[in-house]
Chain A
Amino acid sequence: MKILTLNFVTCARKACKASPAAFPLRPREAELEIVEQDINPLFVRNVLPRLEWDALREVCGELGLQQLPSTAPSPDDLFTTTPAAADTAMADAADAHEPRPSQLLRDLHTLLLETTMRSGKLVCGNCGHEYAVKEGIANFLLPSHLV
């Protein structure tokens, strides 16, 4: 399960949906691995503004991953252009000079899409329910008394 996933899941119990404490779910006993994936700069750039950055920071902290800056990076930091780009109007630079992914973009790609949780638990901060992650798959099916 990719780290990006943790920005888009919360507790499955109805009672927890309105509670800020339920998001993000807290990873516990996580076994992580890197699963390589082709980099998709356009995807990373477009998905960045929709991330709940604070939730991502929290999850990274829980997992003992790199410390993220307190605010999300700007899209401008995701690409580097050739020096000649300085001569061109900034707005056109991207199209004219085939911007290359910056190290920051590569790091985000590795963090969000290649770092995966192989096994462990995801714990709701509101109700305490634990969802198991096994073989990379999270199971959000609730026992019937919790539905």
Chain B
Amino acid sequence: MDPSHLRGEQYEDEHVHEVYEQIASHFSSTRYKPWPIVERFISTLHPGSVGLDIGCGNGKYLTVNPDIFILASDRSPNLVRIASTHNRPHVSLAADVLSLPHPLRTFDFALSIAVVHHLSTRERRINAIEAILAMLRPPWSSDKTVSGEPGRALIFVWALEQKSSRRGWDEGDDQDVLVPWVVKGGSQQQEKSSRMKQRKGKKGTRGSTMEEQVPQPDAETKPGPRAPSEVSSVPESEGRCNDKDSSKTYQRYYHLYRKGELEEDIETAGGTVLESGYERDNWWAICAPSMLNSYSTGS
């Protein structure tokens, strides 16, 4: 693992954004089942609610509730393109959690599922949570309520304590890890791999990587941003890509949250935790801007 002072925005470009751009289609094919707590949160929102899905990935939560309006965003334009194929009545757009293109203190709800753990320093994770909270209609505002309630955010992050999972991490382990994602060979994936090489370092829109993939049979038996089961131990320091036979390995950065850490970060970011828990390898919390908090500029 690289030392923390080397992490930050550029590090995330390489170890988060570029990886998702490349694996978008394969990743999407393994992410089709909504997680129960997220589904419950979305389906109990009042009709006419307007909110955000920040880090929407392939947009799997856009089909849950047709009586609300979700502005779904992701840092990966390829994933946004996939999300846009089934986003009605919602909308999907490309945006970064640290530069959200939305008016402050406006929304009834925000989802941020498996996003905050991709930010590579504590300061950036807290900034992200601040940015999410700043979008919500605060408790002291009575304007334009649909439900009469202040805005709430649901945040999910990967847990350090998951010793019964395939990865087996637990209390005391290093919380900052690179996790391999293996795209198995096959002509299509292989083609993508070589394409990535040519384009390494280039910015801009990629060619279509949106072909439908056959879902991995057991890829989402448990919720969690986990790789397909054929992933084996790839040395974490080996770098982002690794040609071996006909498969390709990408390394994604994660900060694994220990028990209580999500609540601490939310409070440091000026939020109040309303409800929180652990669900199969993930910590989650429902939170709102704190009444005691004096943020007003959102910056």
Contact = CB atoms under 8 A, between A and B. Distances in A.
A42 B146 CA distance: 11
B68 A137 contact: no
B48 A13 contact: no
B81 interface: yes
Interface string B96-115: 10111111101100000000
Given A49-B144, A140-B95, A10 B75 contact: no
A1 B93 contact: yes
B48 A142 contact: no
Contact of B103 (A8, A14, A46): A8
A108 interface: no
A113 B50 CA distance: 13
A131 B101 contact: yes
Contacts of A147: 9, 96, 98-99
Contacts of A56: none
Contacts of A50: 48, 50, 144, 146
A141 to B, nearest CB: 5
B99 A14 contact: yes
Nearest to B91: A5
- SS of B interface (majority): loop
Interface in A34-80: 37-38, 40, 42-43, 45-47, 49-50
Given A47-B48, A50-B50, A137-B92, A4 B84 contact: no
Contacts of A8: 50, 69, 71, 102-103, 106-107
Nearest to A15: B299
A1 B83 CA distance: 13
Interface size bucket, A side? 35 or more
A17 interface: yes
A9 B94 contact: no
B89 A141 contact: no
A47 B95 contact: no
A37 B93 CA distance: 19
A108 to B, nearest CB: 13
B103 A10 contact: yes
Contacts of B100: 12, 140
A5 B92 CA distance: 10
A140 B69 CA distance: 19
A92 B180 CA distance: 60
B297 interface: yes
B298 A17 contact: yes
A138 B297 CA distance: 25
B138 interface: no
A139 interface: yes
Interface string A89-109: 000000000000000000000
A84 interface: no
Contact of A10 (B67, B81, B102): B102
B191 to A, nearest CB: 22
A113 B89 contact: yes
Interface of A: 1-2, 4-5, 8-14, 17-18, 23, 37-38, 40, 42-43, 45-47, 49-50, 113, 131, 135-142, 144, 147
21 contacts: A1-B93, A4-B69, A8-B102, A9-B71, A9-B103, A10-B101, A12-B101, A17-B297, A23-B103, A42-B47, A46-B46, A46-B146, A50-B48, A50-B146, A137-B77, A137-B80, A137-B81, A139-B77, A140-B93, A140-B99, A141-B96
Given A4-B69, A140-B99, 14 more contacts: A8-B71, A9-B71, A10-B101, A12-B100, A42-B48, A45-B48, A46-B49, A49-B146, A50-B48, A136-B84, A139-B77, A139-B93, A140-B93, A140-B96
